[in-house]
């Protein structure tokens, strides 16, 4: 049970500032995901936490102890790499044994042939540990194979095994699923979550895939340009993004954006149509963001739209809609049964609830929620 905190971490490579004063607190046995587009500094942050990079400024604390200048191995953190980084000349069992050997045996015990002979009881204990870890990952049958003879998913498990075997205080994972094919990735998502529940250890998980972040984490930190934009539960980040970049990054298909305006009296309109009233916002142009599932086909809707494209996924269907006066299409999520009458090129009326609209100012900062529905006021 270890509490991890990163305080004011800054890092530059040459003249490029990759991290600018990051603060992040991770509770014991929490599953935290660092998610962001490539180049946002998430992997660097993880490497600083692991001890593979030294921060220019700031501190890494494990349970309140400053470990910023401690070697990675002494922090007792385990890492799973994107490329798995298994030692290709060693069998899976030897791969898993390596961290134990390096930690628990002196140089004599590590000698190739003499080691196992002189430190026999220790070796037996280490092998037992390897067996236990292999059993819980169901890779016992693979222990004698070399990584070259394993499939992607099996290598993934072997890498997890090597990380698990020494009972680290936290697992650090750097895009561990991105080398797997799509079906296996979904499967491993569930398996990693199950592993986290079973081990009750802290997981710090780095990914560029917002779906992984949403599905697995207890909390996720959305990073962009070396800063954490929002840190919170996935649900909260999805439904209450604190800036336009977060809103756009999280969710697939991406959130719809429309140009809008708020007048001095608090009336807020989109494409010339009054939608609702807001309080406490000065008169300004705004960006209105609406999730695809909040878009409705509504005969009384305010926005006429043309169907440009249909994406049928079986259980759900996305309609790409063109609106007059809007250069990019909007995406509406519906079910195939409803969408059957809307062929490509057809017209429909579109609406969305005022409370489903997120308002952002010109800099992309979040504005207050819309509170009143305009139409009900009029009626």
Partner 1 sequence: MPRSYAHYWFIGPALILMFLILILPIGIAGALSFTDYSLGNSSANFVGVDNYEKIFTRSTYEKMFGATFRYVFVVVPMTVALGLGAALLIHSLTRFGDLYKTIYFLPVMAALIAMAIVWEFALHPTIGIINSTLERGCGTWLEAWSWYAAGCERTFPLWLTDRDYAIWTVAFIGVWQGFGFNMVLYLAGLTSIPRSLYDAAELDGAQSGWDRFRLVTWPMLGPTTVFVVTISFIRSFQVFDTVEAFYPQGGGPSKSVYVMMFAIYEKAIQQNLMGIGAAITVVFLGFVMFLTLLQRWLVERRTHYV
Which residues are near partner 1 by CB under 8 A?
47, 50-52, 71-73, 77-79, 81-83, 85-90, 98-99, 102-103, 146-148, 162
Q: What is the bridge-based pairing of β-strands 31-35 and 219-224?
A: parallel
How far are the Cα atoms of 73, 159, 239, 306, 334 from residue 86, in angstroms, in the given order?
17, 6, 39, 53, 45
226 φψ region: left (φ > 0), alpha (ψ -120 to 50), beta (else) = left
Helix (H) / strand (E) containing 187? helix 182-199
Which of residues 127 and 369 has its CB atom nearest to partner 1 in the complex? 127
Least spacing, CB of residue 356 vs partner 1, in Å: 44
Which of residues 72 and 353 has its CB atom nearest to partner 1 in the complex? 72
Least spacing, CB of residue 237 vs partner 1, in Å: 30
Least spacing, CB of residue 82 vs partner 1, in Å: 8
Which of residues 110 and 369 has its CB atom nearest to partner 1 in the complex? 110
Q: Is the Cα torsion angle 75, 80, 84, 88 positive or negative in sign?
A: positive
Choose among 23, 24, 40: nearest CA to 32. Answer: 24
Which of residues 134 and 222 has its CB atom nearest to partner 1 in the complex? 134
Which of residues 41 and 51 has its CB atom nearest to partner 1 in the complex? 51
Q: How far apart are CA 308 and CA 267, in angstroms?
A: 31
Which of residues 47 and 366 has its CB atom nearest to partner 1 in the complex? 47
Q: How far apart are CA 180 and CA 50, in angstroms?
A: 24
- Cβ-based neighbours of 15, under 8 Å, separated by 6 or more: none
Which of residues 142 and 228 has its CB atom nearest to partner 1 in the complex? 142
Least spacing, CB of residue 74 vs partner 1, in Å: 8
Angle between helices 182-199 and 152-164 (to 10 degrees): 20
Least spacing, CB of residue 149 vs partner 1, in Å: 10
Least spacing, CB of residue 28 vs partner 1, in Å: 21
CB-based contact 355:369 (threshold 8 Å):
yes
SS3 138: coil
Strand-pairing partners, residue 135, are none
Least spacing, CB of residue 138 vs partner 1, in Å: 22
């Amino acid at each position: 049970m270890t509490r991890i905190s990163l305080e004011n971490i800054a890092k530059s490579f040459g003249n490029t500032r990759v991290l600018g004063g990051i603060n992040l607190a991770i509770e014991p046995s929490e599953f935290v995901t660092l998610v962001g587009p490539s180049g946002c500094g998430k992997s660097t942050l993880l490497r600083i936490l692991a001890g593979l990079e030294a921060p220019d400024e700031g501190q890494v604390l494990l349970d309140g102890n400053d470990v910023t200048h401690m070697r990675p191995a002494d922090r007792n953190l385990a890492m799973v790499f994107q490329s798995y980084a298994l030692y290709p000349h060693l069998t899976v069992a030897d791969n898993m044994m390596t961290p134990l050997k390096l930690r628990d045996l002196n140089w004599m015990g590590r000698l190739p042939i003499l080691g196992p002979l002189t430190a026999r009881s220790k070796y037996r204990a280490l092998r037992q540990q390897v067996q236990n870890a292999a059993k819980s990952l169901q890779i016992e049958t693979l222990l004698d194979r070399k990584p070259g003879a394993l499939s992607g998913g099996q290598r993934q498990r072997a890498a997890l095994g090597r990380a698990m075997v020494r009972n680290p205080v936290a697992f650090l994972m750097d895009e561990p699923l991105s080398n797997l094919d799509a079906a296996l990735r979904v499967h491993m998502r569930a398996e990693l979550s199950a592993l986290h529940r079973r081990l009750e250890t802290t997981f710090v998980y780095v990914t560029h895939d917002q779906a992984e972040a949403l599905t697995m984490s207890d909390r996720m930190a959305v990073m962009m340009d070396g800063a954490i934009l929002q840190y919170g539960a996935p649900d909260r980040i999805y439904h209450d993004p604190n800036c336009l970049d977060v809103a756009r990054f999280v969710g697939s298909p991406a959130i719809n954006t429309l140009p809008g305006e708020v007048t001095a009296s608090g009336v807020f309109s989109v494409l010339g149509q009054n939608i609702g009233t807001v309080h406490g916002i000065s008169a300004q142009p705004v960006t209105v963001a609406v999730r695809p599932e909040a878009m409705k086909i509504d005969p009384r809707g305010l926005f006429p739209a043309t169907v440009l494209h249909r994406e049928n996924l079986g259980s759900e269907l996305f309609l790409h809609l063109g609106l007059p006066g809007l250069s990019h299409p909007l995406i509406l999520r519906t079910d195939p049964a409803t969408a059957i009458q809307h062929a490509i090129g057809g017209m429909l009326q579109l609406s969305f609830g005022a409370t489903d609209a997120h308002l952002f100012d010109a800099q992309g900062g979040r504005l207050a929620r819309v509170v009143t529905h305009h139409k009900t006021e009029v009626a």
